[in-house]
Every structure is written in C-alpha cells, then in structure tokens.
Chains A and B, each alone.
Chain A
C-alpha cells in the first residue's frame, strides 16, 4: 500500500489541448479517493498518468514519496479496473484472475491459492472454469476486480468500474465495491462522473472541471462548503439553485435583493459580510432542501408563485417561479402540496446559503 501524490502535474496533448492543468493533491495510504467530474474534465488523463499509460507533460507523481514519472506501468505495482473491464475474452475466469500472477512466474501452487482466495472473496467460486464471455455484467465486474486484487497491488485504480451496469445493479455494486475495498484496506483511486458514487463511497473527493482541480475534500465538506459555483452546482440532486442578487446596506442591516426576492441577512451572515469589500453584485446559491416554503408568513420571508409541484412521496419538489422564466426548486416534506399558481412564503436557510463572485464563480466565504 502506498500514498499517491501529484505535484503540479500537467497533461498537454499535441502541445495545445490542456487536459490536466496543474493538478496538486495527495491521496493518503489506504484512503478511498475519488476523482469526480463531467466527461472530458481530465480525470481519465490524470488516472492514466498515475497508471503510467500516458506520459506526464510536466510535474511529478509520487508513490510513497518516490517519483514514478519514468516507471513503466508494470513496475508501479498498481492494478486497474477498466470501464469495460478489459477481461481477456479467450481465457476462463480462473485464467483471467491468474493472469497477472502468471506474468510474474509465480509457482503454480501459489497462483492456485491466491486465485481461489480472490474467487472466494468475490463470490466467484462457481464460475471459475467458465469463459468470461458468458458472464453477466456484475460477474465480469467482479472478475476484473479479482484480477486487480489478486497480486496485492499498492494502489488500486478504478476507472468508472460500474457505469456500464444498469441502475439497480449499479446501486448494489456500489455497496459491494465499497465493502470489498474497505476489507482490503488498499489505497484506491476511483474515477467517476457520477456524484452519487463518489459521495457514497469515497473518503475524500477531488472534483475536476476543464482540466483543473476545483476542490479536494470529504464528501460532506464538498457538499456543505463548495469552493466555487461549479462544485456547488455539480454536487447535489436536485441541483443547487442559483440567482443573481445584489448586496445592499440599509442602515445597520445588510439586505440581499433581486427582482424576485429580498431578505435581510441574519447576524452570522452579516458578520461575514462586514469584512467584505468586493463587488456588491453577487450570485446566490441555495440547495433545494434549504429553501423553506410555507403557506403562512414567516419572519424575513418573501412571496413567490408556485410553477409546478412534483410529489415524490416522502418529499415534494416545488418549482417556484422567479423573474425571467427562471425557477427555483424547493424540496419540502411530502405533505406540503400547494396548488400551481398559488403564492407561497419562501425563506432561505441562511446557514446554507452560498454567495459566489459573479466573475470568477469562487465562493466568497470559502477559506482555502
């Protein structure tokens, strides 16, 4: 097992396309570390550089504080689970799992012991002699994990390992994968575009967009304290609401105003803004569950018409009509179902209301 560290790593294709820009992060020994981002954000390039499948344009990658830039993939003692599993189609399950051991010329007894162990661990004992072509998606997935763990790698890399499975199986494999990796205790780098996977499985997440690391942190940290507008909007389902707003000073009070809403900042928020000297035009972000909707007036609230109502049983998603065809989603308890068109009283939970810089998208109160 090992830690993985990236120091100012760049990947530039053909001298022009910047796939990875100045990536700096460290995944600790034994950690489940997820790289999350939309497709084309550079997460696969990052991972391929860590695996040694691609050259590093600039910067250093370290395993346990040793630079591995020039080391071929075979010497890095890593294992990889591919998106399409990359099983050898002409071999049986047994031979697929045994493959990395055969490459290392281990004695036959040792190979057999390790393959049997891995198969037992993954519940594959019954299909060992089958050809991999006849397996189901979930089984293929487990075989590819078997092949990865059988030689006890110091780093396990998984590239969208369950995104090819259908939704139900995916949810099950998520739990299973997490359990297996936890039992192994191996350092794991998990690449995905699915925030649910990252949030559910990872100890820490690095969020990437357009080749840049946006934020590195624990799932809850990223959820409650997003570094910028991208992270805030990318994490969470339904996604965070954003609206342009203006900061006004009225006597001793600070007021956030827009054509659709206007509210006074409470003391905690106000103390934050006391030192603020930036642009008075801001972008406000608030998650649907932090939008309180009420049929009776609340203190410091404003009124908005209901655009549509989406009951989901335990909860109701209410879409509120803002100006310029914008809508705000609110997630409330399932028993609240106001009719469409009715004016309702709305208040934002100010502990979880975020303010972003209009130009840079940075969270104004995010302390790096």
Chain B
C-alpha cells in the first residue's frame, strides 16, 4: 500500500485497455472532433460539387464549356449564359408556374391530410384498410398510373392547366403527408382532446384549436417536404403540361436543347435559378424539416 503500488496498478489497467481496444482508437480517430470534421467535409463536398460545377459552368464562356471539363472556369468569366437563359426561354414563367403549383398543391394537401390523418387515428376511419391503402399508393411507382391520370385530367378538361397539375400533385403528395403527420398527431395524448370536449369544444374546434397548435412544427415540416416534392416533380408535369402557360420548371429546363445540341451554360444558369428558391426555403425551415423527417422515420 504505497505510492509505487498504486502507480503500478494504474499502468496495468491502462495497458489492458490499450491491448483490448484497438478498435476504440480507430473509432476515436474516425469519430473524434477532427475525424468528424473530415468526414462531414467529404460528405458535404460530394453533395456540393455538382452544384459548384453548375455554378461555375454557368459562368464559363460557351466555347470553354465545350472544350474544357475543368471544375472552375479557366478562361474569362461571363454573364452571357444567365442573360440568354432568361431571354431565350420563358424561365420566369416556368418558375412562376412551379411556384403556383407547389404552393397551392401543398396548401391543399395539408388542408385535406390533417383532418384525414386525425380521423384515421382518433376515429379509426377506414379501419386498417385506409391507412394501408394510403401507404400502398405511396410505394407504387407513379408511372404506373400516368396513363389513367392523363385520361382523367383530360376528361375534366384540365390538361395543360396549372389547376390540373396542382390537383395531381395534391393527390401524389397526400400519402407522404398523411404518413408524416401520423406520428405528430399520435403523440398528442387523447386526454388533452377529451379535456377540450368537456371544456366545451366540438370535435372540429378541438382539432383546430387544440391539436393544430401542437402539431404545427409537424405541419410545417410536412408542408416544406410537399413543396419540395411538387417543385421537383417531373413525370406528371411532363405528361400533363405541354405549353409555356403550364410547364413547370423541371420541364422548362429541358427547353435548353437548341439546334447545336444542349446549351449547357444556359441550362446551368437556369438550373441554379430554379434551385435557389427551394434551397432557401429548406435552409429557413431546416430545423423543422430534420425533426419532421426523423420522427416520420422512427415512428412510421
């Protein structure tokens, strides 16, 4: 029981840990502060490089685009692509169309999905079948229903209109909205609603004034996701719209095919112009979004 004894003991235990846990050091290096930063950097770059590439391409001379594949412009920087992108193709109109479709379809989705989900959870509407069916439609590839949907939209005379497309987007995004909202509504204790009923609210008032304020973050996340999905949607937009008055941005991008092949520079400029609004939106709501997605993932 002296100093030496204690020191020896210490040395021994440390050695045992060293021998045992080689993996510990490995993960320590990988997951330590430095390692984490490196990993995140690699991850971020792999996502950012295509965007950086588009940005730099949109600033290159058309000649350089065709001859050099370098990431950053080697020649002079020009704004000609940006000017042409907006002049040759009605890009503003496409962005406007996309905004209208995304905004109103999202609004419609939320208006319908919130009561729907609430009703499924609280009143067991549709039994086991309705929720299963809703999830089923989400799993199905949209191409499967493209022809019937085209026929249906045409039947009511809404082909080539924004209303037609936004209605289809509403339908297409409904399952994911129900799915995301599910865990939020489920998390609200029943007693809270019962207290509201006893306190004098009707079922609708309870939904609007008690449930809705509590699921607002979830509604926000769901809304942003629906906006993104609608903004990026290509297939239905391709089938249902065939004119400047209703083409959305993803379809508009494909207009940059000229006589001399693809106009890469203009396309890059247009693409960048198209992703900026949605990136800003996601950036603003990133906190809600992450929460919404992880909750949906864990619970759904």
Q: Which of A79, A86, A103, A147 contacts B191 (CB 8 A)?
A: A86
Q: Say whether B198 contacts A73, CB under 8 Å.
A: yes
Check: A171 CB closer than 8 A to any chain B CB. Answer: no
Query: Complex: how many Å from CA A323 to CA B95?
Result: 89
Residue B201 is within 8 A (CB to CB) of chain A in the complex: yes
Nearest Cβ in chain A — how far from B207, in angstroms? 14
Can you list, as one digit per residue, whether each of B186-220 has a CB less than 8 Å from chain A (1) or not (0)?
00010110111111111000000010011000000
Indicate whether A88 sits within 8 Å of B194 (C-beta atoms), given known contacts A74-B199, A100-B199, A103-B200.
no
Chain A interface SS verdict (over half)? loop
In the bound assembly, the distance between CA atoms of A74 and B203 in angstroms comes to 11
CB distance from A54 to the nearest CB of B (A): 10
> For the complex, what is the distance from the CA of A88 to the CA of B192, rounded to whole Å?
7
Prevailing SS type, chain B contact patch: helix
B246 → chain A closest CB, angstroms: 41
Known: A88-B210, A89-B214. A83 touches B200 (CB 8 A): no
Cβ of B195 and Cβ of A74 under 8 Å apart?
A: no
Number of B residues near A (Cβ < 8 Å) is 15
Contact B197 A73 (CB under 8 A): yes
Question: Inside 8 A of A73's CB, which chain B residues have their CB?
Answer: 194, 197-198
A104 at the interface (CB under 8 A from B): yes
- Does A90 reach chain B (CB closer than 8 Å)? yes
A72 close to B (CB within 8 Å)? yes
- A104–B200 contact, CB under 8 A? yes
Q: How would residues 64 to 106 of chain A score, 1 for a CB under 8 Å from any chain B CB and 0 otherwise? A: 0000000011101011101110111110000000011001100
A107→B224 CA distance, assembly (Å): 39
Q: Of all chain A residues, which has the CB nearest B194?
A: A53
In the complex, A51 has a CB within 8 A of chain B: yes
Q: Which residues of A contact B201 (CB under 8 A)?
A: 74, 103
**Complex: A100 Cα to B206 Cα, angstroms:** 12
Given known contacts A88-B210, A90-B213, A90-B214, A83 and B198 CB-to-CB distance under 8 angstroms: no
A88–B194 alpha-carbon span in the complex (Å): 12
Min C-beta distance of B193 to chain A, whole Å: 8
Chain A minimum-CB-distance residue to B216: A90
Chain B residues with CB under 8 A of A80: 194-195, 198
Contact B192 A86 (CB under 8 A): yes
State whether B197 touches A72 (Cβ < 8 A): yes
Query: 1/0 contact trace for B211-238 toward A, CB 8 Å?
Result: 0011000000000000000000000000
Within the complex, what minimum Cβ distance (angstroms) separates A327 from chain B? 42
Contact B197–A74 (Cβ < 8 Å): yes
Q: How far is the CA of A79 from the CA of B199 in the complex (A)?
A: 7
Give the docked Cα–Cα distance between A103 and B210 (Å).
12
Docked Cα-Cα span, A103 to B213, in Å, equals 16
List residues of chain B with CB within 8 A of the CB of A72: 197
Distance in angstroms between the alpha carbons of A286 and B213 in the assembled complex: 57
Task: Specify the chain B residue showing the minimal Cβ separation from A153.
Answer: B198
Residues of the A chain whose Cβ atoms lie less than 8 Å from the Cβ of B192 = 86-88
Does A84 lie within 8 Å of B200, measured CB to CB? no
Complexed CA–CA distance, A151 and B195 (Å): 13
Determine the distance from Cα of A213 to Cα of B202 in the docked complex, in whole angstroms: 33
Contact at B199–A86, with CB atoms within 8 Å? Answer: no
Contact A82 B191 (CB under 8 A): yes
Question: Quick one: closest B residue to A89, CB to CB?
Answer: B214
Task: Give Cα A147–Cα B210 distance, bound, in whole angstroms.
Answer: 15
Instruction: Mark each residue of chain B from 175 to 195: 1 if its CB lies under 8 Å from any CB of chain A, else 0.
Output: 000000000000001011011
Residues of the B chain whose Cβ atoms lie less than 8 Å from the Cβ of A79: 198
Q: How far is the CA of A83 from the CA of B195 in the complex (A)?
A: 11
How far, in angstroms, from A322 to B84 measured CA to CA in the complex?
102
Closest chain A CB from B236 CB (angstroms): 38
Give the nearest-CB partner of A75 in chain B.
Answer: B200
B181 CB to closest chain A CB (Å) equals 17
Q: List residues of chain B with CB within 8 A of the CB of A84.
A: 189, 191
Q: Are A74 and B198 in contact (CB under 8 A)?
A: yes
Contact indicator A83/B191 (Cβ below 8 Å): yes
CB distance from B100 to the nearest CB of A (A): 33
Most-contacted residue by chain A among B189, B192, B195, B196 (CB, 10 A): B195
Question: Which residues from 133 to 160 on chain A have a C-beta closer than 8 Å to any C-beta of chain B?
Answer: 147, 151
Q: Which residues of A contact B195 (CB under 8 A)?
A: 80, 82, 86, 147
**What distance in Å separates the Cβ of B136 from its nearest Cβ neighbour in chain A?**
27
Across-interface contacts of A90 in B (CB, < 8 A)? 213-214
| Residues of chain A with a CB closer than 8 A to B189's CB | 84, 86
- B191 adjacent to A78 (CB under 8 Å): no
Closest Cβ neighbor of A104 among chain B residues: B200
- Residues in A whose Cβ lies below 8 Å from that of B198: 51-53, 73-74, 76, 78-80
Cα A100 to Cα B209 in complex, Å, equals: 13
With a cutoff of 8 Å between Cβ atoms, the chain A residues found around residue B191 in the complex are 82-84, 86
Residues of B within 8 A of A89 (CB): 214
- Give, as a whole number of angstroms, the nearest-CB distance from B220 to chain A: 14
Instruction: Report chain A residues within 8 Å CB of B213.
Output: 90
Q: Please give, as numbers and ranges, the residues of chain A lying within 8 Å of B199 by CB-CB distance.
A: 74, 99-100, 103, 147, 151
Within 8 Å by CB of A74, from B200, B210, B214, lies B200
A-B CB contact pairs (8 Å), 16 listed: A51-B198, A52-B197, A72-B197, A74-B197, A74-B199, A74-B200, A80-B194, A82-B195, A83-B191, A86-B191, A86-B192, A86-B195, A87-B192, A90-B213, A90-B214, A103-B196
- The 4 A-B residue pairs with the shortest CB-CB distance, nearest first, are A86-B191, A100-B199, A103-B200, A74-B200
B: residues with CB less than 8 A from A are: 189, 191-192, 194-202, 210, 213-214
Given contact pairs A88-B192, A99-B196, A100-B199, enumerate 15 new A-B contacts (beta carbons under 8 Å).
Answer: A51-B194, A51-B198, A52-B198, A73-B197, A74-B200, A74-B201, A80-B198, A82-B195, A83-B191, A84-B189, A86-B194, A87-B192, A99-B199, A103-B196, A104-B200
